[in-house]
Amino acid sequence: MYYKGTQQECINYDNHVTEKEGYVKGDNWANPIKIEGSWYILKHDKYTSEMELVNELPPQNLEIE
């Protein structure tokens, strides 16, 4: 499951999860992913957001494919 939102919303979600989970050594939860102008971030099982929830990432038009 992923959240879809703005880049800043995704960054904020990552910061929130990272702080709550207490990762050490500067580690973080997940990196926002940009796909066709939209931003996504992997949902953590324990933390919700008001961003739109989607089951999976949309198909990506990756150059390497």
Partner 1 sequence: MIISPSAISPYKITTFQSGGAPFVGLLDLYPSAAGAYSVRRLSGVYSGSLMEVRRSSDNALQDIAFDANGDLDTASLLSFVGAGNGFVRTWYDQSGNAINFQQTTVSEQPQIVSSGSVLLENGKPLISRVNGSTGLESTLSGNVNRWEFGVVSTPSGVLSTLYSEIPNDYMCIAQNGSSSTFVNGVTLNNLYSNGVAITKSRDSFYDNFLTSSILTLDANDSGISNISFGYIPAGSIGMLNMQEIIFYNSNQSGNKTGIETNLSTYYEITLP
Among candidates 2, 64, 12, which has minimal Cα distance to 33?
Answer: 2
Asked if residue 64 binds partner 1 (CB under 8 A), the reply is yes
At 21, list the tokens. 């989970």
Pick from 22, 37, 46, 50 the residue near partner 1 by CB under 8 A.
22
> Measured between alpha carbons, how far is residue 47 from residues 6, 22, 33 in Å?
18, 14, 18
Among 3, 13, 29, 39, binds partner 1 (CB under 8 A): 29
> In the complex, which residues of this chain contact partner 1 (CB under 8 A)?
21-31, 33, 35, 40, 42, 44, 57, 60, 62-65
